[in-house]
Chain A
Amino acid sequence: MTTTPADLDRARNVALDLSGWGRRFTFYQPRNFAFWGYLALVGTGMFVFASTLTREYNAYAPAIALAVTSFAIYAALFWWFTQYIDHYAKLPAKLMVVAFLWGGFAATWTMAANANDAILALYAKSFGQSWALNWGAGLSAPFTEELAKGSGLLLLIALAPPQVRTAFDGFILGAFIGLGFQIIEDIAYAMTSAGSQFGANQIGASIGTIFVRMVSGVAAHIVYSAIFCAGLIYLLGRPAEPRRVGRGLLLMAIPMLLHGTWDSLAAIAGPSVLTLFGLLIAVVVIALVIAVRVYELTARRERDFVRDVMAPEEARNVIAAAELDAMAGNRKARKRYRKAGRNQRERKRARYVLNAAYGLADELASARGADTDRVRFARAEVGRIRAGVPPPPR
């Protein structure tokens, strides 16, 4: 049976409808209950954090300035990276900001901080102070913090149902929720360290904390929340992601286990610094390996969407079959496509063609598959770059 261009166009429309790719996100939705819930909870968290920061700034200004500057740069790097890995049906940037703010203010200050304090105190009362110091953090934070961060995704789905459609969307939004949580928590840790030596030697006391939090943060909240939120989407099911309860629960349990292990490392390792260091590296590596696996697992559906959206372009010879395979493939497929060039110039051009083709895919998604001026221009750009014609002078 032959597939006609019209069949491919239909498949494209189905993919665009299902994926929500290219749809704009409006934050201000007064008739959406989740909008008010989000505002109340994030607003409360912001108020608590701002009150703490204002109060402590008077005493710990140098350390707070250092922490905020360092973690702002750190956040910018992770922000870029997390957006970079969102190759396929891209989410609106505004939605990522909304996710970041949930993680930074609601999940931390409105929810997890209160619960953590209470649970730690209850553990100390029930099992003794020493037991609580050993295992309290590892048996409280994984539940309270992962649930607090993950609950934000429920509100995001209610706020943006056409955009949050796949487990991959959950993975990306989870990463942004985790990034917000991590950055604000890190600043709070730095403030605590600044006061740990009676307010003297603030920079010396907090710089170690800042460094450790930056290094350990590579495989902490960002990774945990990304995996947890991908699992939550599998658990709930979405129009573009059939419900898979077992997979969902497993993916939600894994970050809790990783988080619990991380928070209990000092107790597991005992007094040996070497063992602690070895375990620390092992947990980071395991967390990153799992995150890559989950990324690959969730990206499959998104790659199918890219293929469906761009297949009509291949049928109309706008892009080549190899380019379609690269666009809808993984990192290795894109690398293979680029490396196929005979020389440096061709390889560089292949990269530009691929970027232009992704740009065309985004324009097609925004136009919902229609043949608009922007789509025609994006198509022409693919052809221009492939032909090696320089852009018009500015």
Chain B
Amino acid sequence: MPDQETDNSSAPPSPRFEPDDGWVPADERLFGVDRRTIAPTLAVFALVIVMSVVLPVINAMVPYDDIVKAGDVLKLEGDVTVVPEAGWGITSGVRAGNAPLSGEYPATATVEQKAVKFRVHTAPFNGDANKLLDQIETTSEALNRGRGVHVASMHTTIVTDQGKQGAIARVTGPNTGGVIAAFVFEGRGVEAVATGPSDTGPESTAAVLRMIRSISHPGEGTR
């Protein structure tokens, strides 16, 4: 008769039974849900709320205090400059002489005054101002598919203080109005868009036109 103890030590042990992934021990159920999975999920949700709700809300509550002073000039990539209106708030872009450490100015600058927003963007472009405005219109139509802000008038000419000719058109959208202007300086396109409520007063409109006319590029003559 085989020795029981020896038998036990030499027989290969059977693998322990394991239930499938869906099984929840009776003492770990809370309304049928595995209570052990609640804490880690809530921890992740807490992080999601901080990232997607708390931080954006804090950001929305903190006002901009980077207010344009008389004489400030915003500089963009490719040596394009624009003179913002004193009293408006800078929400993106940097002043001339205050370049980032990399030495490269950003391609976009935005200033705001109440609900009126003025944004200037620059990038390489081959063609003239009218062609650039057409390109912007095409891209904008493709993105918005007839909804949102769109060009609502024929192109007309605008001349900057530097004497550079550009193209300008009116834009409209739901409860929104504004203008869009385009310039091309030696292969560098500049887009300036101002949008605000449809009932924006003449003061803001004049300020926007002054900012558009202030756009300049070194070495650019009248063309």
* A residues lining the B interface (CB < 8 Å): 4-7, 9-10, 13, 16-17, 23-26, 29-37, 41, 55-56, 58-59, 110-112, 114-115, 117-119, 121-122, 124-126, 128-130, 133-134, 144, 147-148, 151-152, 154-155, 157-160, 162, 195-201, 205, 266-271, 276, 367-371
Contacts and interface: CB of A to CB of B under 8 A. Distances in A.
Contacts of B63: 125
Contact of B139 (A159, A195, A266): A195
Interface in B108-129: 121, 123-126
B51 A9 contact: no
Given A130-B94, A199-B138, A147 B143 contact: no
B9 A125 contact: no
Contact of B123 (A34, A119, A198, A370): A198
A33 B41 contact: yes
Contacts of B13: 6, 9-10, 13
B59 interface: yes
A23 B40 contact: no
Given A26-B22, A133-B94, A31 B32 contact: yes
Contacts of A128: 66, 98
16 contacts: A31-B24, A33-B37, A34-B37, A34-B41, A58-B143, A111-B48, A111-B51, A117-B59, A122-B55, A129-B92, A154-B44, A162-B18, A162-B21, A198-B136, A271-B102, A368-B15
Contacts of B29: 31
A118 B139 contact: no
A13 B94 contact: no
Contacts, number: 194
B16 A17 contact: yes
A96 to B, nearest CB: 16
A33 B38 contact: yes
Contact of A129 (B20, B33, B51, B90): B90
A35 B50 CA distance: 21
Contacts of B44: 37, 41, 151-152, 154-155
B12 A9 contact: yes
The binding surface of chain B is classed by DSSP as mixed
Contacts of A196: 107, 123
Nearest to A55: B143
- Please indicate which of the listed interface residues B34, B45, B51, B121 has the most CB atoms of chain A within 10 Å of its own CB: B51
Contacts of A25: 21
Given A13-B16, A33-B41, A198-B191, A158 B55 contact: no
A117 B14 CA distance: 56
B26 interface: no
Interface of B: 9-16, 18, 20-22, 24, 29, 32-34, 36-38, 40-41, 43-45, 47-48, 50-52, 55-56, 58-59, 62-66, 90-95, 98-104, 106-107, 121, 123-126, 132, 135-136, 138-139, 142-143, 145, 189, 191
A95 to B, nearest CB: 11
A29 to B, nearest CB: 6
Contacts of B126: 200-201
A9 B16 CA distance: 13
Nearest to B7: A6
Contacts of A155: 40-41, 44
A271 to B, nearest CB: 3
A29 B16 CA distance: 22
A276 B103 CA distance: 12
